[in-house]
């Protein structure tokens, strides 16, 4: 049980499966200059959480507390963090990749990583959005400059990043093609996807052509294969590592572009996301919610790779 100066958090001492996660009691952090202490109400889970749990990746060896998504209430502010006052409801993404720590009762965030939580969405919804929304926004809007009427192919369109990217692309006035297993096609139609491809039944590289933008959320050889569906001058934006220098060489040969991007905390992007939420153009699909203490159960479900939308931890 946490006290006035401590907090509950989900940590791990070794890398491994969901079973390595455990609830611990840690010292409650204090905000420094330009920082905000947030009392966490909800924190989304993302594939990067289970990958870091198992492999360490950017964070190296544990112990560490995972979680980059956060929605909650301002508990305290450091000097200079004058945009917020105690009691404000906020949401945002902690600096990726080294700023993890939202799977806890409290977390420190740079003030400029946060924006006011839209009134029209609850903490669970707000906590599900930041990382996937910023990923999709930065990929489609900032890197690909997606324009009205353009054709965009979104891989794994029913996944965490994918289903948000669909909504952002539709809000931009694009024609959206999405790949997903057949059981998720109705869900994607509801989101506004114009054309759905069952990746189990057909090869997207043969089924699609004349695309302006491809969002690769799969990695592996998807970026390389996606180059074939682009029209001249088109771009593949991938959020995962590619297959090596051959993908850039092939892009140059075909007269198209490929970019590999990593999401970054950004207030302007979060404001744009909040505006889409307020306008009713962006809503997360919640695949499941789990109390903080059941983080391992949530990770086990995430490990299956079969969820539609987002998993979220809730903190009372």
Cis peptide before 112 (omega within 30 of 0): no
**pLDDT value at 60 more than 70:** yes
For the chain, state the CA radius of gyration: 19
Phi first, then psi: give them for residue 265, nearest 5 degrees: -60, 135
> Which residue is listed with tokens 């890398």?
15
**pLDDT value at 277 more than 90:** yes
Which range among 71-85, 233-247, 260-274 shows the weakest confidence by mean pLDDT? 233-247
The pLDDT tens digits for 64-81 are 999 999 999 999 999 999
**pLDDT value at 1 more than 70:** no
Question: CA-CA distance, 77 to 84, in Å (whole number)?
Answer: 7
Phi first, then psi: give them for residue 179, nearest 5 degrees: -100, 140
Give residue 274's pLDDT.
98
Tokens standing for 211? 């695309």
Specify the pairing of strand 175-179 against strand 195-197: parallel
Give residue 268's pLDDT.
97
Question: CA-CA distance, 292 to 66, in Å (whole number)?
Answer: 12
Q: What percent of the chain has pLDDT over 90?
A: 94
Of the CA atoms within 13 Å of residue 202, those in its CB half-sphere come to: 12
Quick one: how far is CA 87 from the chain centroid? Answer: 26
- Specify which residues 81 forms β-bridges with: none
Question: CA-CA distance, 95 to 35, in Å (whole number)?
Answer: 12
Helices (H) and strands (E) in the chain, counts: 10, 16
Enumerate the CATH 3.90.180.10 domain ranges in the chain, comma separated. 6-129+284-314
Give CATH for domain 132-260.
Answer: 3.40.50.720
Cβ proximity of 263 and 133 under 8 Å: no
Is residue 133 helix, strand or coil? helix
Enumerate the CATH 3.40.50.720 domain ranges in the chain, comma separated. 132-260
User: Which CATH superfamily is 6-129+284-314 part of?
Assistant: Medium-chain alcohol dehydrogenases, catalytic domain (3.90.180.10)
């Amino acid at each position: 049980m946490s006290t006035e100066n401590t907090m509950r958090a989900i940590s791990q001492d070794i890398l491994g499966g969901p079973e390595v996660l455990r609830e611990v009691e840690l010292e409650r952090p204090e905000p420094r200059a330009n920082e905000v202490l947030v009392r966490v109400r909800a924190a989304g889970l993302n594939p990067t959480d289970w990958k870091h749990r198992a492999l360490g990746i950017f964070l190296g060896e544990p112990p560490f507390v995972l979680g980059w998504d956060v929605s909650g209430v301002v508990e305290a502010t450091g000097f200079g963090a004058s945009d917020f006052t105690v009691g404000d409801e906020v949401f945002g993404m902690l600096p990726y990749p080294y700023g993890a720590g939202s799977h806890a009762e409290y977390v420190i965030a740079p003030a400029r990583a946060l924006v006011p939580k839209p009134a029209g969405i609850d903490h669970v919804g707000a906590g599900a959005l930041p990382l996937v929304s910023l990923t999709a926004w930065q990929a489609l809007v900032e890197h690909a400059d997606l324009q009205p009427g353009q054709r965009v192919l979104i891989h794994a369109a029913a996944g965490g990043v994918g289903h948000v990217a669909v909504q952002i692309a539709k809000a931009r006035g694009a024609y959206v093609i999405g790949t997903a297993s057949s059981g998720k096609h109705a869900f994607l139609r509801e989101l506004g996807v114009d054309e759905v491809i069952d990746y189990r039944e057909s090869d997207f590289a043969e089924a699609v052509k004349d695309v302006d933008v491809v969002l690769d959320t799969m990695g592996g050889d998807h970026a390389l294969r996606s180059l074939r569906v682009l029209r001249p001058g088109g771009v593949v934006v991938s959020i995962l590592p590619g297959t090596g220098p051959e993908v850039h060489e092939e892009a140059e040969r075909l007269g198209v572009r490929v970019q590999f991007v990593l999401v970054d905390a950004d207030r302007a992007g979060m404001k744009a996301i909040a505006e889409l939420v307020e306008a009713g153009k962006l809503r997360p699909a919640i695949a499941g919610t789990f109390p903080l203490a059941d983080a391992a159960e949530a990770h086990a479900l995430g490990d299956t790779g079969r969820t539609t939308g987002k998993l979220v931890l809730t903190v009372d």
